[in-house]
Amino acid sequence: MNEYKIPAQTRIGHVHLKVSDLQKSLDFYCGLLGFEKMLMYGGQAAFISAGGYHHHIGLNTWHSKGAPPAPEYAPGLYHTAILYPERKDLAVALKRLIAAKYPITGASDHGVSEAIYLDDPDGNGVELYCDRPKEDWPVDDEGKLTMFTRRLDLEGLLATVE
């Protein structure tokens, strides 16, 4: 069988999340993280984006209104990763989380990227991150990509916007 490779220009277009309370989710994704509400689908769903795209995140209560979070040790989405264009943009997001006293569950340097982890109001994992330039990604002696998980220098990150 020939090895098929998906086209390099392919991107993940959007994620659609089941949520228990649409307004709490809008307060988090739009109010705290800064996404723009593009469209409401009655009182059951909302479509939000960065930069006016039709939607990067869909939020709905069609099968989940008032439901508890999914069990931690069940199959499902581990997290939604939100890629910021620049390191200073990630720093602004971190500063907003700190100002809002929003709980952060982790912060890591992966060599290829810097990431902040948190949960949305329904316990869905969210990663806020920025990539390093590709030429700075760590590689081994054979030129193969290597990644790691180290403590993120939060003070250094915040210093980019202070």
> What is the pLDDT tens value at each position of the chain, 162 positions in all?
679 999 999 988 999 999 999 999 999 999 999 999 999 999 999 999 999 999 999 999 999 999 999 998 999 999 999 999 999 999 999 999 999 999 999 999 999 999 999 999 999 999 999 999 999 999 999 999 999 999 999 999 999 997
Domains in the chain: ranges and CATH = 12-66 (3.10.180.10), 78-162 (3.10.180.10)
End-to-end CA distance of the chain: 55
- CA-CA distances (angstroms) from residue 37 to 40, 48, 58, 69, 127? 8, 4, 10, 23, 20
- pLDDT given at position 1: 66
Answer whether 142's CB lies under 8 Å from 96's CB. Answer: no
- The Cα–Cα gap between 117 and 76 comes to 17
pTM of the model: 0.93
55-99 pLDDT per residue, tens = 999 999 999 999 999 998 999 999 999 999 999 999 999 999 999
